[in-house]
Structure 1
Amino acid sequence: MRVIINFFLLLALALGGWALWWVSHDLALITPTLDLSVEPGTTPRGVAQAAVESGVQTSPEMLYWWFRLSGQARQIKAGSYELETGLTPYRLLSKLTRGEEALRSVTLVEGWTFKQLRATLLKEEHLKPDSKGLDNAVIMEKLGQSGRHPEGRFYPDTYTYAKGSSDLKLLLRAMHAMDKHVAQAWQLRAADTPLKTPEDLLILASIVEKETGQVSDRAMVASVFNNRLRLGMMLQTDPTVIYGLGERFDGNLRRRDLLADTPWNTYTRTGLPPTPIAMPGKASLMAAAQPASSQALYFVARGDGSSQFSDSLDAHNRAVNKYQRGQ
């Protein structure tokens, strides 16, 4: 009897030692890097099977029992994971229970239109293109904004995302970020602002964004437009005309374009256009909320990226002659 007991004790010790070796030993992978997707609701046994099917060369039963015996099987999180050479069963379980998903990033640039934003997201190979083939109205409906125009609704920033996650999920995050930044800017708006709603602020900020790349000029550009709004003057800003032309714009803005009426043509219509024309960043949002204090009603590009601001039409015409016509 003692011999049998000793045999089983030795066997148990051997199995225990082998198990300790196995959980800390590198798993063989069919390629140096593998992608493992764990869908919500997948059982521990299903996770083990998915790992093997993704290219982990081991027994799914062994992985499953390791998950079970560890006491952490119920802590495995759904997600998209990247498995690399040097992965042990211990490290695999740690990755799954910590939710250490494979992350990628994409940058949304200030001044982009929604069309440019969509094109960029579709190029992201690790982002699931759920918006592909959908028109803008359907996309906004899926984001819970049915009937709302998408232009300018998404905050320009760098966003990280898990491999295989939906582009609609990223759009939703960017939309919520813009809502937050607009609300913050609106709370800090100047007391004498002619803007009546946060929507007005977003629209004006988008115009400021397209009118200048100079951070130092944004508050003055916003001041010009605020002053014009107070006086009931037309904004007469080229970027809104270009936006209204859409695909008809060939890169050269002509006088006839300035006279071609569209809802966004601020040469033919007073007040703000009906929607934003691009994605404004934080600096443009704050410039729209807190413009510089001035009497300026005009500005013209100096040719070095900055602008010359004028209080009167005569002064503006002199500036145009100097900086645009070289007179």
Structure 2
Amino acid sequence: MLDLTYRPRRLRTTPAMRALVRETTLQTEDLVYPLFIVPGEGVREPIESLPGQYHLSVDEAVKTAKEAYELGIPGVEIFGLPTYKDEQGSSAWDMNQPVQQAIKAIRETVPNLIVISDVCLCQYTSTGHCGCVEDHEVLNDETLPLLAKVAVSHAKAGAHMVAPSDMMDGRVAVIREALDEEGFTNVSIMSYAAKYASAYYGPFRDAVHSAPEFGDRKGYQMDEANRLEAMREIELDIREGADIIMIKPALSYLDIVREARDNFDYPLAVYNVSGEYAMVKTAAKAGLVDEKRIVLETLLSMKRAGAKIIITYHALDVARWLQEK
């Protein structure tokens, strides 16, 4: 005879009952919205590889940042395209470039919005790599002081948080030291601690024109087969001074997210990357999926795995959908 003393379906009978016992929730406060800043004025140009996203001049970025804040999104992350590139990527720390100008303008217009800046060189170097290059090799230690200069320039512009995404060894420690020496002890670091050499980055590289001129980034980004190495990378970045740790991409690496949550008592972020976003958009446009349902389910899976912060191109839509509930 069946023992039906415990009937799980009793707690699924109505929407109110399901909400009462729901273990994980997705909130607008969990979201960070990426912005792509370009030179010029009055520029709001659709990004073909990222439907619904735009290249924005500083004035237009301010408008979008204000919209995000009014929807309840607590922060934006700034990426950018410079007016010039060279071998060192010196435009990355040029205070007159779009990224620094956007940080400054957003802070002045929306002072309570958290402004996070991406710290890397790939958009700024003529090689498209994330560091200094010699004989087709990306040099680690020679790149570190340049990354520190980028982070300090962002802090001077007003960034609350810098997010090194380059995956050079030791960069968190060098950036923390440089920020502290310049008096920016309250500027926090969100480290791309476990950033994998993923095929999911394609649309992003198109959006910021950062595809490598030669080779790939497997020499510094993580091998997608490795789990234990991710834990070592995260521990290393925490020791070097990271305030928040990030795993990127999110969806295909939720096992890493779960293990990081279980092992480290630090704020945990994930990046719902461009390829993940573009696939949903393409499938939705073809009528193959319900975009709202699949996006909310996908982001909820990231929260359930253990992430608190989700960087996502879906943020504006999600914030509106959550208000509808």
- TM above 0.5, one fold? no
- Which structure is richer in relative contact order (CA contacts within 8 A, separation 6 or more)? 2
Greater fraction helix: 1
Greater fraction strand: 2
Q: Which has the larger radius of gyration?
A: 1
**TM-score, with structure 2 as normaliser:** 0.22
